[in-house]
Amino acid sequence: MKAYNIDNFAALIGIDWADKKHDICEHPNNTDKYHYSIIKCKPEALHEWAMSLKKRYPNQQIAVACELKKGPLIYALAKYNHITLFTINPSTVAKYRKAFTPSGAKDDPTDALIQVEILTLHMAKLTAIEPESPAMRSLTQLVEYRRNLVQDSVDLSNKITATLKNYYPQALEWFKEKDTFIFCD
């Protein structure tokens, strides 16, 4: 695993993601400035934003922190060579927020700023997301879907068994296998 240092990056960025918009806090390295922006949750908007970073910081790496390990936002940003993605556990951001905001008030720009602060102070302890190939991402999703289908099948079988125990307990004695067509009929 490669060790990262904030000096390796031209800017540190925190993204507080949502399904309609993403709040962004951008902190150019070696400055005291923070720029806040909002981008739409659209592939075109993400591409335009990523390319604008490349223009503003030519031939330099940019560190981007997010509370995700996978999903459309991560998949969209992982394809850019000038962006290094770091994942921050959502509970870490929540606890950090609570430590400095006793009221627990949450807003998206502040969470993006908190991610930048965590990047600044604890980058060496964070995990960088290594981009997977499209084939591996597809396989991972298929395995996850299969796992969910198997769990749904087990849940349904358990519900049927519980119901039959209440109304027709003999059926459970007659059929040992609960996942057969004849049992379901």
Above 60 in pLDDT, residue 47? Answer: yes
What angle separates helix 108-122 from helix 90-100, to the nearest 10 degrees?
A: 100
What are the CA-CA distances from residue 156 to residues 70, 104, 108, 164, 170 (Å)?
28, 39, 39, 12, 19
Neighbours of 43 (CB within 10 A): 11
Question: pLDDT value at position 1?
Answer: 55
Mean pLDDT, range 128-135, rounded to an integer: 76
- Structural domains of the chain, ranges and CATH numbers in brackets: 6-131 (3.30.420.40), 136-184 (no CATH)
Question: pLDDT value at position 81?
Answer: 87
Question: pLDDT value at position 96?
Answer: 84
* Residue 131: both structure tokens together: 């981009």
Question: pLDDT value at position 118?
Answer: 92
* Residue 27: both structure tokens together: 């902190």
Question: pLDDT value at position 160?
Answer: 84
- This prediction's pTM: 0.70
pLDDT tens per residue across span 69-83: 878 888 888 888 899
Above 80 in pLDDT, residue 3? Answer: no
pLDDT tens per residue across span 63-115: 999 988 878 888 888 888 899 999 998 888 888 888 887 776 777 778 889 99
Torsion angle (degrees, nearest 10) of CA 155, 156, 160, 162: 20
Above 90 in pLDDT, residue 175? Answer: no
- The H-or-E segment that residue 23 falls in is strand 21-28
Question: pLDDT value at position 76?
Answer: 84
